Each structure stands twice: as C-alpha cells, then as structure tokens.
Amino acid sequence: MQVKRICEQCGKEFYRHASHIKQNGGKFCTRTCWIKSHTAKLNRICETCGKEFHAKENEIARGKGKYCSRPCSDIGRRSDRERKCLYCGNAFHKNPANPTEYCSAKCYQSDHRIDLVCRTCGKEFSRSVAYATATGGKYCSKHCAGKARAVEHKYICEVCGKEFLGEAKGRKFCSTKCRKVGQSGPGNPHWMGGKSFEPYCYKWTEALRESIREEFGRKCYLCPTTEKENGVKLSVHHINFDKMAGCYGKRWNLVPLCKKHHTKSSFNRFKYFNLLSNYWAMNKNINFGGGGPDIYAFCLGGT
C-alpha cells in the first residue's frame, strides 16, 4: 500500500510504500532532492575565530559544523576541557577523547613509582610498580643482588660424601670430577642399563655402512630435501635398535640419518621407530621375522 508524502526538499507531493517509510525512507520525492538536501550548505559562525563559513545540513545534524578549519577545530577541542595533572598539579588541555589525567609521560611514570628498601644494603630506592611486581623489588642494584645470591650454603656431596660450601641452591656435587661420576651411568636420567656398550654384529663393517649411504643417495632419510653429505659422513641407524640383527638370520634394517636426527632417535626411541616404520612397509626385501607377533618388537637398548 502506498502512502502520500510531502518532499522535505521541494514540498512536492509523492507516494511511497508503507514498508519503505518504516525503514526511515520516503522523505524525498527524487534522488535529486535527496542530493540537494545532503549537500545544502548553511551559514555558520566558527566557535574559535568567529569567522563565517558554510557547513552541510547533514554534518550539522551529526553535531559537526562548529569550526571553519582543522586548526580551529584542534584549538576548540583542546579548550573543551581544562584538566589538572594528578602528579604535579599543573593545569593542561587535552582532547576530550584522550582520557589521560597527566600532563606528560614523565608525570605519569613518576606517579606510578613506589619507594622500596634494599634487602642487602638497606638503601632506599624507587622503582615502577610494574617492575617491582615482576621482580619483587628486593635489591637496589645488580651488585646488591649478586651479594645476596653469593651467600654460601652447606651441602653434602652425593658422590664422595664430603661437606662443602656453595653459592647456588640445590648443589649436589662438590667438584666437576664428582659431578661427572654422579651423572654418568645409572645417575644419568637417560640411562638404559648400559645398552650402548653392547657389541655390534661382526658383519657391521664400514663397507656395509657405505652401501647403505649409497642406496639412499647419501641423503638423510628424514630430511631428503637437504643436500648430500659434505665432508661429514651420515650415521647409519638401526630402525629396530637391534645391533645384532645381521647375525641371526634377519635382514639389516638400516637407514642413513644426519647427526641431528640420529642424536634425537636415542632419546625418543618409540617416536623414531614409528617415523621410520614407513620405510619398513615399503621395503619388500626386509625380513619381518616371518610375520609372527614379534614383527614390531624391538630392543629398547642403545644403538
């Protein structure tokens, strides 16, 4: 249904659908009148310099049209509110959109500092609230912090049983010699019962390792996109971690690996066994032990 309307620009009568009027339409009879309405300029007086200028009706309706230029706008907006600095007490002007209550960054930083007392020398000092919260604000300088950490504690060496003094907390060994003894063998978290000392099969020769490197184009199996070995030979890795595989009827399960991957394979054996299992599946020449339940059984010892 169409409703009779009066154009707000030219005063002419026209008709528009009720649905259009509900959507805030039906104000102008034509697009020409709509453009004229939005581009019509009215005389205004600048609130800063008092100069007369023209502003569009739609801008005035949105609360604009107060200033003749950008410089006058900046001056007028700065003078909209006079503030008092929370730190120094001086009056200053800021844009109303800026919520700051400080006249400068220096005043802001000064107001956000707290007074502390050094736990080493007893000297008073100040630090920002954020710094004191993060570090505890215990010491006035690195020199005092170093003195505090240098306080000696008594420890008992876990190797030789000797009592010794140490600066750091949690010391276990009195010397480098004792540390090497204490962290070798069963004392090492990566110890696996001495599997790395088990002998290789007598057929494990340099000629065999060279043949494996040539078979794979002298590239690491886990990073084949890299260049060929240059000066340093690739390590030859037992996929099933069985160093005696070549001596009791089973085929060698070997792939060349770069130093990085070969080192990682010793610390996460199950992960690297699964990574290399694709090679097992694709290589038809490998003897999987007759298809029995021990197909994927492998030794958890060292290589």
What string of DSSP letters covers 177-223?
HHHHHHTSGGGSTT--SSGGGSPPPTT--HHHHHHHHHHTTTS-SS-
CB 60 within 8 A of CB 37: no
Which pLDDT score is estimated for 35?
77
**Amino acid identity, position 26:** G
Query: Are 111 and 87 spatial neighbours (Cβ–Cβ below 8 Å)?
Result: yes
Cα–Cα distance list, 139 to 97, 123, 129, 130, 134 (Å): 40, 9, 14, 15, 13
Q: Which residues contact 42 (CB under 8 A, 6 or more apart)?
A: 54, 55, 56, 57, 60, 65
Banded model confidence at residue 291, pLDDT cuts 50, 70, 90: very low
Is 150 a residue whose pLDDT tops 80? no
pLDDT at 2: 84
pLDDT band at 216 (very low <50, low <70, confident <90, very high): confident
**DSSP 8-state secondary structure symbol assigned to residue 128:** E
When pLDDT is cut at 50, 70 and 90, the band that residue 296 belongs to is very low
Q: 295: pLDDT confidence band, cut at 50, 70 and 90?
A: very low
Report the pLDDT averaged over residues 12-34: 84
In percent, the amount of the chain with pLDDT more than 90 equals 2
Residue 293 pLDDT exceeds 60: no
Confidence at residue 209, expressed as pLDDT on a 0 to 100 scale: 87
Whether the Cβ atoms of residue 285 and residue 265 lie closer than 8 Å to each other: no
The pLDDT value recorded for residue 81 is 63
**Contact in structure between 103 and 92 (CB atoms under 8 Å):** yes
* Beta-strand relationship, 153-156 and 163-166: antiparallel
Mean pLDDT of 73-82: 67
Q: Which residues contact residue 59 at a Cβ distance below 8 angstroms, ignoring those fewer than 6 apart?
A: 65
Q: Which residues, 6+ apart, have CB-to-CB distance to 78 below 8 Å?
A: 93, 94, 95
Q: Which residue has the higher pLDDT, 186 or 140?
A: 140
CA 122, 128, 129 angle in degrees (round to 5)?
100
Which residue is associated with the tokens 């009195």? 174
Residue 186, C-beta contacts closer than 8 angstroms, at least 6 positions apart: none
Residue 155 has what pLDDT? 87
Least confident of 23-32, 73-82, 154-163, 228-237: 73-82
**Four-residue CA torsion sign, 148, 154, 160, 162:** positive
The pTM (predicted TM-score) of the whole model is 0.38
Q: Which residue has the higher pLDDT, 145 or 297?
A: 145
In 3D, which of 234, 299, 238 has the Cα closest to residue 265? 238
42-56, 71-85, 161-175, 276-290: range with lowest mean pLDDT:
276-290
Considering just the CA atoms, what is the radius of gyration of the chain in Å? 41
- As a whole number of angstroms, the distance between CA 185 and CA 284 comes to 39
Spatial CA neighbour of 153 closest among 141, 168, 142, 140: 168
Round to whole Å and give the CA distance between 37 and 136.
Answer: 65
Confidence of residue 7 (pLDDT cuts 50, 70, 90): confident
Q: How far apart are CA 73 and CA 128, in angstroms?
A: 37
Give 165's strand partners: 154
Query: What is the structure's pLDDT at 251?
Result: 64
- Amino acid letter, 206: E
Most confident option among 53-62, 115-124, 229-238, 271-280:
115-124
